[in-house]
């Protein structure tokens, strides 16, 4: 990272980054961005977190078991509920389909990875993007020649492309579902100020799309301030049958259901939408609750 004041690093980084990375793509883009945003000395301040109300224990987003030695980085550590710290172990991020432990804004359980199933964890829908952008930052800045344990489900050994197919699909999906907002920008800037760097996935909206997503292989525009995030998919009303290949996402919205309804699928709480991959193929029951009505519907997910 260039020797600039930490307090202004976050504000300046977009301009700095555009100077060095415009026109690059793929591995070259990743290498330049990583070199530019890597902290010269990481810190581990267990920042009070707005993610959870009852946060009290130090929590590492990328588990310490995944790398040896685990680097110190403010973007990897925050305070979390003790129950989450205990239950998460070294599990991968993912769309939990059957929860074994859960609290306000988090769940640990099992869910699909391709055709298999794995222990995994996730957070509330309005934090999925925050979490995804932290994972992507850590994968980008700290490539490992040999990831340990369950990390190999998400990270690739030896650097580029940094993330496995599962990791790319999951984290890109979460980032699209929960775009950067002012709260995340504020939190990210505060962390960056502590260790004099920034998370490029927060300061350059849509960077991940140029690395792994819909713009993969295309050079990063020299005007990164322009919106590059692909438009959010239009909400499609609930229907009887879905195809993972054709639909990708299910939106829990219907003219027959109150707009303020909260939803579960097969008994597990979901947000306003969910990836069909996370639900898996087969028949599922979506149930809703609102102050004015309760109800449910069966739908089918096909490959």
Q: Which residues bind other proteins (CB under 8 A)?
A: 237-241, 254, 256-257, 283, 288, 291-300
Nearer to other proteins (CB atom), residue 240 or residue 259: 240
d(CA 58, CA 10): 24
Nearer to other proteins (CB atom), residue 246 or residue 298: 298
For residue 130, the minimal CB distance to other proteins (Å) is: 33
For residue 248, the minimal CB distance to other proteins (Å) is: 19
Are the C-beta atoms of residues 261 and 289 closer than 8 Å to each other?
Answer: yes
For residue 244, the minimal CB distance to other proteins (Å) is: 16
* Per-residue three-class SS string for 169-212: HHHHHHHHHCCCCHHHHHHHHHHHHHHCCCCHHHHCCCHHHHHC
**Phi, psi of 281, deg, nearest 5:** -75, 155
d(CA 216, CA 222): 16
Nearer to other proteins (CB atom), residue 90 or residue 247: 247
Nearer to other proteins (CB atom), residue 2 or residue 239: 239
For residue 257, the minimal CB distance to other proteins (Å) is: 7
Cα angle for residues 211, 214, 215 (degrees, 5° grid): 55
Nearer to other proteins (CB atom), residue 1 or residue 249: 249
For residue 272, the minimal CB distance to other proteins (Å) is: 17
Are the C-beta atoms of residues 283 and 298 closer than 8 Å to each other?
Answer: yes
Are the C-beta atoms of residues 282 and 265 closer than 8 Å to each other?
Answer: no
Nearer to other proteins (CB atom), residue 145 or residue 283: 283
Question: What DSSP string describes 93-118?
Answer: E---SEEEEEETTEEEEEEEETTEEE
- CA distances to 6, 197, 240, 250, 270 from 301, rounded to whole Å, are 48, 43, 9, 10, 16
For residue 24, the minimal CB distance to other proteins (Å) is: 47
């Amino acid at each position: 990272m260039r020797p600039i004041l930490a307090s202004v690093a976050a504000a300046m980084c977009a301009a700095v980054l555009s100077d060095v990375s415009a026109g690059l793509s793929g591995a070259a883009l990743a290498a330049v961005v990583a070199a530019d945003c890597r902290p010269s000395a990481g810190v581990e301040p267990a920042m009070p977190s707005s993610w959870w109300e009852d946060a009290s224990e130090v929590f590492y987003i990328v588990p310490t078991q995944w790398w040896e030695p685990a680097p110190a980085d403010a973007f990897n550590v925050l305070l979390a509920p003790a129950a989450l710290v205990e239950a998460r172990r070294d599990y991968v991020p993912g769309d939990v389909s059957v929860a074994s432990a859960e609290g306000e804004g988090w769940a640990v359980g099992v869910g699909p990875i391709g055709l298999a199933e794995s222990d995994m964890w996730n957070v509330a829908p309005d934090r999925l993007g925050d979490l995804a952008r932290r994972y992507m930052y850590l994968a980008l800045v700290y490539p490992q020649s040999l990831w340990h344990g369950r990390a190999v489900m998400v990270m690739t050994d030896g650097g580029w492309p940094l993330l496995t197919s599962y990791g790319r699909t999951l984290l890109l999906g979460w980032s699209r579902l929960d775009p950067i907002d002012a709260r995340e920008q504020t939190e990210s800037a505060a962390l960056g100020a502590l260790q004099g760097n920034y998370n490029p996935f927060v300061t350059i909206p849509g960077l991940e799309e140029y690395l792994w997503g819909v713009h993969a292989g295309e050079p990063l525009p020299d005007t990164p301030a322009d919106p590059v995030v692909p438009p959010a998919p239009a909400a499609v009303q609930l229907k009887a049958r879905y195809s993972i290949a054709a639909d990708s996402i299910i939106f829990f919205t219907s003219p027959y259901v109150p707009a303020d309804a909260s939803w579960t699928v097969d008994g597990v709480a979901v947000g306003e939408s969910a990836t069909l991959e996370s639900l898996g193929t087969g028949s599922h029951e979506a149930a809703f609750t609102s102050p004015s009505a309760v109800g449910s519907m069966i739908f089918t997910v096909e490959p």
